[in-house]
Chain A
Amino acid sequence: MAEEYKISTPKKKIDDRIFDTDIIGQYDAIPFSKGRVAVDLRNIKFVNPYGALGMLILCETILAGFGERADLLLPGTSDGSEIASWLGSLGFLEALQGAANINFPPPFNSHNGPSYIKVSKINSLQDVEKVTVELFYKLQPILIHKLGYREEEGNRAATLISELCSNIYQHSAPDGERPHGYMAMQSYQNSLKMAVMDLGRGIPETVKSKCNSYEGKSDGDIIHSVCREGIPCQGHISLGLYQTLKITKRGEGILNIRSGKAKILFDYRQESSVGDRKIPTPFFSGTQIGIYLPKKEEKKRGLENDFEEGIF
């Protein structure tokens, strides 16, 4: 009889921190063998873009590793939960089709809303362009009218997405293989949250394959270094993460990058005393990136509590 495994969280939300530690930790603890995996999210009341993309790539990883779809258990609409409806609108359920068995017929009426951009696949150069152009026009009203940004600051957010999605296309897949990743964005609680993820080789392996001088360095040191200096790559320096970090710093936000066996948190909020933190994580495929940009006037307020409570 096939083994059955369960991944769940006692928390009522899936965000950056819970995905990077609890969820990946549970996945890593499963001995690799044949079996069924249930991802039980029935008590979840909140999922941010990072959490949604994380669960999506987790289900895809389970399908690739176990050869069977995971059983994804979501809160039913009869429970009064709005989460399934939200995940449907966000395009999470649509993107998940074929990668997991879902416990009830999902609403697939995904669409871009006034405060979010639905889960978008990044499999080609055209996808990168499509997502960036969409964001360029979509972000302006959100950032300017809702979050108090100036037009040029709004453009910076489009730069972030362009650079990160380009990285998926350009760096994540081994030669000859098709890149595969996702992007989603949401304006929530006076802030903008963006997530970009892929299931490629991950930053440490990619960088080591392009530059011998990174051999022997820890995953955390490599991620930190490419964010600070760029990635030497085929006659030029790839500046996607470098520029992402710079823009996050200017926006006094937070950049969270997890890849290989490490997670780096760059916290540039005014009140933050955290700075750069390298946090070891269990290994997980690809690269997962979350960005938080606060509302203008929110920068003056202490957001430490929000962060500690795991809103980011």
Chain B
Amino acid sequence: MTLKKVSFKVKVAGSVNDGFLMTREVGRKTKEALWAKISELSPNSVLEMDFSNIKFMDVSGADEAVVKLLTRLETGEYPDRFIVLSHVSSQHKENIETALKVNEKTAIVKKEDGSWDIWGELNSSYKEIIQEIAEKGSMTARETQEKMNYRTVNEVSTKLGLLYKKCLLAREPYRKAVVGGGRQYKYISLI
């Protein structure tokens, strides 16, 4: 399976000050516009939120347009839709990271040089899994277990399931359900 990647330049909604994503009210309206865009996506799509039009973002704007959006995605209202942040400046970063950390959320950020980063709250073992899958493109739990020397498949399956719930990895059914066990998935990098 290939994820469909859709790039979208974030525009400030509900303000005459174009490019200033600030205050909770403007953040909420911008979030609603972004959510409308997400609702148009087909399953297994990644919305690359391009912030190059945003000159300034405060922490309230970041909280609404990034953290609240992630929170809503995590509820599964539109399952298998994901977001990646791109063209984020150091000014954006400071406020996005604060909002993510305080709310214990995590976002994947695509950098302009093609590399990527993980912002927010995430244990290093989970970050390593995302890194490993990003290098391969996709991996099953068993492949991840073998590659990363986890003791059991269950241990790594739990971690992969959590990363999927946090919308940091996509997944597709891999094989029929194993005897006496759950369904197997192939986990796919958003990058």
Contact flag A239-B60 (CB < 8 Å), given A128-B23, A129-B15, A132-B20: yes
**Residues of B contacting A236 in the complex (Cβ-Cβ under 8 angstroms):** 63, 68, 103
Q: Tell me which of B40-48, B88-96, B120-128, B165-173 binds A.
A: B88-96
Say yes or no: A129 contacts B17, CB within 8 Å: yes
Q: How long is the Cα–Cα vector from A164 to B186 in the complex, in angstroms?
A: 46
Say yes or no: A239 contacts B90, CB within 8 Å: no
Say yes or no: B63 contacts A162, CB within 8 Å: no
Asked if B98 CB lies within 8 Å of chain A CBs, one says yes
Please name the residue on chain B nearest to A244 by beta carbon.
B59
**Residues of A contacting B16 in the complex (Cβ-Cβ under 8 angstroms):** 129
Q: Which of A122-157 contact B (CB under 8 A)?
A: 125, 128-130, 132-133, 136, 152, 155-156
**Residues of A contacting B84 in the complex (Cβ-Cβ under 8 angstroms):** none
Asked if B22 CB lies within 8 Å of chain A CBs, one says yes
Asked if B148 CB lies within 8 Å of chain A CBs, one says no
Q: How long is the Cα–Cα vector from A136 to B169 in the complex, in angstroms?
A: 37
Residue of B20, B58, B95 most packed against chain A (CB within 10 A):
B58
Residue of B60, B63, B89 most packed against chain A (CB within 10 A):
B60
Q: How long is the Cα–Cα vector from A145 to B55 in the complex, in angstroms?
A: 20
Please name the residue on chain A nearest to B58 by beta carbon.
A162
Asked if B162 CB lies within 8 Å of chain A CBs, one says no
Q: How long is the Cα–Cα vector from A133 to B20 in the complex, in angstroms?
A: 8
Asked if A286 CB lies within 8 Å of chain B CBs, one says no
Q: How long is the Cα–Cα vector from A159 to B95 in the complex, in angstroms?
A: 9
**Residues of A contacting B59 in the complex (Cβ-Cβ under 8 angstroms):** 159, 163, 239-240, 242-243
**Residues of A contacting B25 in the complex (Cβ-Cβ under 8 angstroms):** 125
Secondary structure of the A contact surface, majority rule: helix
**Residues of B contacting A159 in the complex (Cβ-Cβ under 8 angstroms):** 56, 58-59, 91, 94-95
Size band of the interface chain B makes with A:
20 to 34
Say yes or no: B103 contacts A170, CB within 8 Å: no
**Residues of B contacting A152 in the complex (Cβ-Cβ under 8 angstroms):** 89-91, 94
Asked if B160 CB lies within 8 Å of chain A CBs, one says no
Would you give the 0/1 interface string for A221-260, flagging 1 where the beta carbon is closer than 8 Å to chain B?
A: 0000000001000001111101100110000000000000
Say yes or no: B22 contacts A242, CB within 8 Å: no
Tell me the minimal C-beta distance from B162 to chain A in angstroms. Answer: 22
Q: How long is the Cα–Cα vector from A152 to B89 in the complex, in angstroms?
A: 9
Asked if B156 CB lies within 8 Å of chain A CBs, one says no
User: Which of B20, B68, B102 is in CB contact (< 8 Å) with A230?
Assistant: B102
Contact flag A163-B58 (CB < 8 Å), given A132-B20, A152-B91: yes
6 pairs of A and B residues whose beta carbons are closest in the complex: A155-B91, A162-B58, A152-B90, A243-B59, A239-B59, A162-B22
- Interfacial residues, chain B to chain A (CB-CB below 8 A): 15-17, 20, 22-26, 55-56, 58-60, 63, 68, 89-91, 94-95, 98-99, 102-103
